[in-house]
Chain A
Amino acid sequence: MRVKLSAMRVRNDLVRRIEELSGQDLLACYQCGKCSAGCPAAFAMDLLPSQVIRLVQLGLVEEVLNAKTPWFCAACQTCYARCPKGVDLSRIMEAIREIALQERGDYLVIEEIPAEELAEFPQLAFIGGFRKYTA
């Protein structure tokens, strides 16, 4: 299928919202791929981190909202630490998660976690997890 690009599409509301929430300039990314190359969680992702940015640059936000990738970003900052353009991808991922959580509800259901595991998790793991995965 051929994607129709237009001013409307590439600057659509969700694109703007991602830019606002993340504070990042999406067009600063020149698609070098260094973020993807170093991402420790990329093996579990369906889109590479640089592809997430690319899709948003093209205005294809639905595709990233449907993707697994934002949920697998561990906010480790490896990408940001090395990005030649200073793009903080972890913030873009957080912005996408935020929109998805608002539109589609929680990603993590606490009841799904077995009780004995819940008891074992260090506090910061589940506090962190809840901040990332619930609205």
Chain B
Amino acid sequence: MRIAYFPGCTLNTTAKGFDNALRASFAALGAELVELPEWNCCGATFPLLVDNMLDLVAPTRVLLAAQRQGDRLAVACTMCYNVIRRTNNRLRSDADALEKLNYFIEAEYRGGVEVLDVLQILRDDVGFEAVQAAVKKPLTGLKVAAYYGCMVLRPPTEVAYDDPENPHALDDLLRALGAEPVEWPHKAECCGAYLAVKSKEATAEMSYRILSSAQRAGAQAVVTNCPLCQFNLDKQQLDMGRRHGGYQPVPVLYFSQLLGVALGLDTADFGWERHYVDVRPLLESLG
């Protein structure tokens, strides 16, 4: 299987490890992510004002680039997925908007591209059973908290491919890898997203709630599919001990990193050095 792939700015830079691990894992599973030959930033947030057409231009360009490659687009970054998918929904349901945007981009996007999250592709096209069969180093004994954030769940009618209140796709994948996903209540609570740039206090508090709940449930690591969640949760821990005495940091990983590890791939370029809370000791303890 080959599928057109949009990595997005963040996976091209700070979350390069997410991207490397993902591509390598997909390749090992016989699914090739073919990066769009030309692409641009999607804009990172879906414009919420009715008449804000301008901010739809960038994601429409991405859709146009995808249309040239076929009818399906894989997106790894959950924020990009959210923006591109919602833009696509709008263009498909609003002929007026489609016409305006086509005029802006001086091309014809026809609305035919299916925007898919990479986890969804793993589940529906590759299949978790196939993933399980390909596992070389099962993550036996590793207790993980699957954390979904907002972007692949809400708004449910527009973007969710999972149960929006009790999502389980990521838990199921981690189980297929041999890990033990813990039951915990804050899988889908918001980490604060871009509040990080304006209010450290708010993001720190939101991250703390999530991380402390995961740890109460016994998780040794938090696993996510969102680069902004990963950043917030990981980085906020640096001075969490100061705010919350006795707090013990917990590694925050991308699911693709664990996927690559379980598939027995070379993990040298998985971006371990980028993590604020070092992941390696935990992985080494797995043997």
Contact = CB atoms under 8 A, between A and B. Distances in A.
A and B touch in the complex (CB under 8 A): yes
Interface of A: 20-23, 40-41, 43-44, 71-72, 74-78, 80-81, 88, 90-91, 93-95, 98, 107-108, 113, 120-133
Interface of B: 8-10, 13-15, 41, 43-45, 47-51, 55, 77, 79-80, 150, 153-156, 164, 189-190, 192-199, 201-202, 205-206, 209, 227-228, 231, 235
B267 to A, nearest CB: 21
Nearest to B164: A81
A30 B190 CA distance: 25
A91 B49 contact: yes
B48 A91 contact: yes
A107 B198 contact: yes
B155 A77 contact: yes
30 contacts: A22-B48, A22-B50, A40-B206, A41-B190, A43-B205, A44-B201, A44-B205, A72-B195, A72-B199, A74-B192, A75-B193, A80-B155, A81-B156, A91-B49, A94-B49, A95-B48, A107-B198, A120-B14, A121-B196, A122-B228, A123-B41, A124-B9, A124-B77, A124-B228, A125-B196, A126-B197, A127-B45, A128-B44, A130-B197, A131-B44
SS of A interface (majority): helix
Contacts, number: 135
A75 B155 CA distance: 10
A134 B218 CA distance: 41
A71 B198 contact: yes
Contacts of B14: 120-123
B13 A122 contact: yes
A131 to B, nearest CB: 5
